[in-house]
């Protein structure tokens, strides 16, 4: 059985890596496999291959709480996967004639792969909901801070001015793109698996394709043209969509950790709620979000750190899924087995990252005063590019660049504003006067509000694109997919 309990609620790391509503642990896998078996029994009954009442009997018995996970895990060592032991246990629990229909026509991979698709849908729905909330929060930040000027930073160094609105618009675009990827996978790539021993459903004779279609209908999954036992692009597509979620969120989280540094302090996470009865590691009292076990003065960006912790795991998990796509003939020897744990864990960390991202953006504190102060303290250096453009018409490109670079270096080392360094150069003053460029022109070139380019247009475009993002498919989950458990 795939072991995801280290990241489940109530486990040591569950508070970080099992945030949100999608829990992909051993119990979730077990219930998804039972759901697949129960749906198969209903499909067989509908096809006339099982007595009336079979589907209801199997569905009633297919409850994870009634099965021993540890025992099933031990039995999996005998067969290489947990399904044979589970099928036997379920058949015993159902008993009588209905019990004989359990697992009929299926192979172990049919049940596990179908369970994986059910878990993927659950995780996608949870992640999509949290991404939508996060994106709405990013859109609000972009609109609110359309004119909030701050220092832009490239290669971790100060660059030209930007607005925080355009920063948030960039976050928004990434979140919307990730959400669209989830919608595409949910609508187009989640499909039932049902092929029997070697992908031909030979044991069901002429009824095989019909039962496959009914099984898909029962579970609210797509009915693929044929089984995909050793064609694993569906698994990779799910994994890729979830990895894209963590990628979009990790960019936001990294920006927030940098903006929240004590020396920058232009943004900060909301403190969140205390956890009753818990401690922050160094004594009594109510713990707080961001507390340190050693340094009571600290307020750490916990949500951002948790997102980054989730995101760092995603590439390796996805790589395993891609590497496992090389599968032999009609059934793989080992590669399929290698998918189970990384697939489930990727679903979990991506949905957890999305939940953290929703909290992060809804509670983000933006210090516009500190942004303005940091920009002013830069002494005009972020506008060096604009000053160079002003002087280019007077001095020529190379000379203007070198002069401003020299002046910027002096300003940086002396703490004197760039304006004063430039206007203190008698040779430059003469050339500027000759060209009709006044000190007021230089000062205007050093006004950050006049050097924001298309920032406002980009914000408007991102907000307009956001309004066009379709409602996640989770809003219309088929009743047949959720009416039994």
Domains defined for the chain, CATH in brackets = 5-271+298-371+470-476 (1.20.200.10), 381-445 (1.10.40)
User: CB under 8 Å to 34, separation ≥6 — which residues?
Assistant: 62, 63, 64, 67, 86, 90, 485
Q: Read off the tokens for 283.
A: 């004594």
Give the per-residue pLDDT at 260: 96
**pLDDT of the chain, 485 residues: tens digit per residue:** 444 455 666 678 889 999 988 999 999 999 999 999 999 999 999 999 999 999 999 999 999 999 999 999 999 999 999 999 999 999 999 999 999 999 999 999 999 999 999 999 999 999 999 999 999 999 999 999 999 999 999 999 999 999 999 999 999 999 999 999 999 999 999 999 999 999 999 999 999 999 999 999 999 999 999 999 999 999 999 999 999 999 999 999 999 999 999 999 999 998 654 444 444 444 555 445 555 444 444 579 999 999 999 999 999 999 999 999 999 999 999 999 999 999 999 999 999 999 999 999 999 999 999 999 999 999 999 999 999 998 888 788 898 899 889 999 999 999 999 999 988 888 777 777 877 888 898 899 999 999 999 999 999 999 999 998 744 444 444 433 444 44
Contact yes or no for 314/243 (Cβ under 8 A): yes
Residues labelled catalytic: 292, 331
Residue 230: which region, alpha, beta or left (left: phi > 0; alpha: psi -120 to 50)?
Answer: alpha
Q: What letter would DSSP give residue 226?
A: S
Neighbours of 44 (CB within 10 A): 25
Give the per-residue pLDDT at 271: 64
Give the per-residue pLDDT at 428: 74
- Angle (CA) 307-465-349 rounded to 5° is 20
User: Look-up: residue for tokens 């300003």?
Assistant: 411
Q: How far apart are CA 332 and CA 348, in angstroms?
A: 25
The pTM for the full model equals 0.89
User: Look-up: residue for tokens 């948790």?
Assistant: 306
Give the per-residue pLDDT at 282: 47
Contact yes or no for 82/72 (Cβ under 8 A): yes
Q: Which SS3 state, helix, strand or coil, does residue 365 take?
A: strand
Q: How far apart are CA 381 and CA 368, in angstroms?
A: 19
Give the per-residue pLDDT at 280: 44
User: CB under 8 Å to 184, separation ≥6 — which residues?
Assistant: 241
Give the per-residue pLDDT at 279: 45
Q: How far apart are CA 290 and CA 282, in angstroms?
A: 14
> From the CA atom positions of the chain, what is the Rg in Å?
29
Give the per-residue pLDDT at 298: 52
Neighbours of 356 (CB within 10 A): 27
409-428 in b/e burial notation, b at 16+ Cβ within 10 A? ebbeeeeebbbebbbeeeeb
User: Look-up: residue for tokens 């009915």?
Assistant: 223
The Cα diameter of the chain in Å comes to: 103
User: CB under 8 Å to 25, separation ≥6 — which residues?
Assistant: 4, 5, 7, 8, 18, 348
User: Look-up: residue for tokens 């018409």?
Assistant: 393
């Amino acid at each position: 059985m795939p072991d995801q309990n280290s990241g489940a609620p109530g486990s040591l790391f569950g508070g970080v890596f099992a945030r949100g509503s999608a829990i992909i642990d051993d119990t979730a896998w077990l219930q998804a496999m039972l759901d697949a078996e129960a749906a198969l029994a209903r499909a067989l009954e509908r096809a006339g291959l099982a007595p009336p009442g079979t589907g209801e009997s199997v569905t009633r018995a297919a409850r994870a709480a009634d099965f021993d996970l540890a025992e099933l895990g031990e039995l999996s060592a005998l067969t290489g996967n947990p399904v044979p032991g589970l099928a036997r246990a379920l058949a015993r629990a159902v008993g009588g004639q209905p019990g004989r229909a359990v697992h009929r026509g299926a192979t172990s991979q049919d049940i596990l792969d179908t369970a994986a698709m059910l878990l993927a849908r659950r995780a996608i729905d949870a992640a999509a909901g949290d991404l939508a909330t996060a994106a709405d929060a990013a859109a609000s930040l972009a609109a609110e801070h359309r004119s909030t000027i701050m220092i832009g930073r490239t290669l971790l160094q100060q660059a030209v001015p930007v607005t925080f609105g355009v920063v948030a618009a960039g976050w928004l675009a990434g979140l919307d793109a990730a959400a669209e990827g989830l919608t595409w996978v949910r609508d187009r790539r989640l499909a039932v698996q049902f092929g029997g021993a070697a992908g031909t459903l030979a044991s069901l004779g002429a009824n095989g394709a019909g039962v496959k279609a009914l099984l898909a209908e029962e579970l609210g999954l797509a009915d693929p043209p044929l089984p995909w036992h050793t064609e694993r692009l569906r698994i990779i597509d799910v994994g890729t969509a979830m990895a894209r979620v963590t990628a979009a969120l990790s960019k936001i989280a990294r920006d927030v950790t940098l903006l929240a540094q004590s020396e920058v302090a232009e943004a900060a996470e909301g403190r969140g709620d205390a956890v009753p009865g818990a401690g922050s590691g160094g004594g009594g009292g109510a713990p707080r979000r961001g507390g340190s076990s050693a340094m009571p003065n600290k307020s750490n960006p916990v949500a951002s750190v948790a997102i980054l912790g989730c995101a760092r795991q995603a590439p390796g998990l996805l790589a395993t899924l891609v590497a496992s796509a090389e599968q032999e003939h009609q059934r793989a020897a080992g590669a399929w087995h290698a998918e189970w744990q990384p697939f489930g864990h990727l679903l979990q960390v991506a949905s957890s990252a999305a939940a953290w991202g929703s909290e992060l953006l809804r509670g983000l504190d933006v210090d516009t005063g500190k942004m303005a102060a940091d920009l002013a303290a830069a002494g005009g250096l972020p506008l060096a590019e604009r000053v160079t453009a002003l002087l280019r018409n007077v001095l020529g490109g190379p000379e203007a660049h070198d002069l401003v670079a020299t002046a910027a270096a002096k300003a940086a080392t002396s703490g004197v504003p760039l304006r004063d360094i430039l206007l203190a150069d008698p040779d430059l003053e003469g050339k500027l006067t000759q060209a009709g460029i006044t000190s007021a022109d230089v000062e205007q070139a050093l006004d950050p509000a006049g050097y924001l380019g298309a920032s406002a247009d980009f914000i408007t475009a991102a907000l307009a694109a956001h309004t066009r993002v379709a409602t996640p498919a989770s809003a219309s989950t088929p009743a047949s997919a959720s009416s039994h458990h």
